[in-house]
C-alpha cells in the first residue's frame, strides 16, 4: 500500500515526529529530540541519519548511494533479513544479496513522543517480492527510538506460519570515523571469528583491539558483549550495546572493494567501518509457530 506524505503526517505526525520527502522521492520519518535527529526511510526501514546536537554524524552514508525503489541504500543501518550475504543455497537462482527486507517499502504502524523520547515503529509482512523468493509467513516489527541523544533499534521477527521458521538477521550498521586506519574496535577479545577475506577460515582474536590495515570482513561468533569504537580522528568513542544477538560482524572494504562497488565512492572507505549486530551462520534463529524473537541495539557516544 502506497503511503503518501499527507496520509502519514495526518495519521502519525506530531511534535518531534514528521514525515518528509527524501531522495528519489521516497518518504522518510524524521525523529527530533533535544539531543539530536534521526531519519528513517520507509524503503527498507532504513536509518540514514543519526546526528547528535552539535556533533559530527554518527552514521556513515555513501554520497554514491542509489535511492531507487529496486535498490538497497548504501550506508546508515540496512536491515538484513532473512539471509545474510549471498543466499546459500539459492533455490530460485536470483536471490538478492542480504535478503529482501532492505528492498521493500515498510508500513508505518505507530509513532510515539513522550518527553525527550521519539520513536517510529515500521512493519513488514509477506508481499509479492518476498513470496517469489521465500514462501514463508512472518511479520517484522522494527522500532527506531531516539532517546535524547541515544539511538535504540529493536527488530522483532514473529513466525505467523504453521511450521518452524529459520532465518538470519543483521543490523548492518555503518559508523562514521575520522580515519579507519587510526580507529579500533574493542569488546571482541578472545573470541573466534570467520575470516571472509580468507575463505571463511576460523581464527581467534587476541586480546588487543581490532585495528584496520586492509580489507576486513569478519564474523565474530558466540559473542553477546558490547563493542566500543575508538575514533581519535573525531575524538569520540561509539558504544554499541546489544541484546539477543549472538554474532558481530566487523567490516571495511578498503581500496579494491570500494572501487568495485557502484554505489560506494572510491575514496570513501577511510571514513567508515561497520560493527553489525546480527544472528548469522551458526547463530541463525529458528522460531516455533507463533513465537517472536527480538534483537536490540543501543548506540551512544562518549567524547574523548
Q: Hey, which residues are catalytic here?
A: 172, 276
Q: Is residue 206 a contact partner of residue 189, using CB atoms and an 8 Å limit?
A: yes
Task: Using DSSP, state whether 283 is helix, strand or coil.
Answer: helix
All 3 cell numbers of residue 17? 515526529
> Closest Cα partner for 120 from 104, 109, 136, 132?
109
Phi-psi sector, 221: left (phi>0), alpha (psi -120 to 50), beta: beta
Give the other-Cβ count within 10 Å of 101's Cβ. Answer: 25
Q: Measured between alpha carbons, how far is residue 126 from residues 93, 159, 169 in Å? A: 20, 11, 16
Which set of grid coordinates corresponds to residue 155?
A: 527488530
Amino acid at each position: 500500500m502506497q503511503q503518501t506524505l499527507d496520509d502519514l503526517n495526518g495519521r502519525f505526525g506530531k511534535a518531534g515526529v514528521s514525515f518528509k520527502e527524501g531522495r528519489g522521492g521516497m518518504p522518510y520519518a524524521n525523529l527530533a529530540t533535544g539531543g539530536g535527529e534521526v531519519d528513517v526511510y520507509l524503503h527498507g526501514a532504513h536509518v540514514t541519519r543519526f546526528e547528535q546536537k552539535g556533533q559530527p554524524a554518527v552514521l556513515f552514508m555513501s554520497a554514491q548511494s542509489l535511492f531507487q525503489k529496486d535498490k538497497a541504500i548504501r550506508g546508515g543501518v540496512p536491515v538484513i533479513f532473512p539471509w545474510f550475504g549471498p543466499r546459500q543455497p539459492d533455490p530460485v537462482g536470483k536471490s538478492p544479496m542480504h535478503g529482501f527486507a532492505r528492498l521493500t517499502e515498510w508500513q508505518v504502524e505507530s509513532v510515539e513522543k513522550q518527553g525527550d523520547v521519539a520513536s517510529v515503529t515500521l512493519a513488514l509482512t509477506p508481499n509479492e517480492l518476498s513470496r517469489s523468493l521465500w514462501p514463508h509467513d512472518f511479520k517484522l516489527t522494527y522500532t527506531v527510538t531516539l532517546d535524547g541523544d541515544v539511538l535504540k533499534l529493536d527488530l522483532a521477527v514473529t513466525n505467523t506460519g504453521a511450521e518452524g521458521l529459520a532465518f538470519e538477521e543483521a543490523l548492518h550498521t555503518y559508523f562514521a570515523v575520522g580515519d579507519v586506519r587510526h580507529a579500533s574496535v574493542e569488546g571482541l577479545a578472545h573470541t573466534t571469528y570467520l575470516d571472509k577475506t580468507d575463505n571463511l577460515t576460523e581464527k581467534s582474536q587476541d586480546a588487543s583491539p581490532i585495528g584496520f590495515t586492509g580489507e576486513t570482513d569478519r564474523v565474530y561468533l558466540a559473542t553477546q558483549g558490547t563493542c566500543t569504537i575508538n575514533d581519535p580522528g573525531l575524538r569520540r568513542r561509539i558504544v554499541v550495546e546489544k541484546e539477543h544477538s549472538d554474532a558481530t560482524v566487523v567490516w571495511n572494504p578498503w581500496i579494491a572493494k570500494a572501487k568495485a562497488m557502484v554505489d560506494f565512492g572510491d575514496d570513501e572507505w577511510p571514513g567508515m567501518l561497520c560493527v553489525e549486530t546480527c544472528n548469522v551462520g551458526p547463530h541463525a534463529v529458528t522460531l516455533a509457530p507463533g513465537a517472536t524473537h527480538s534483537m536490540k541495539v543501543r548506540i551512544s557516544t562518549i567524547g574523548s
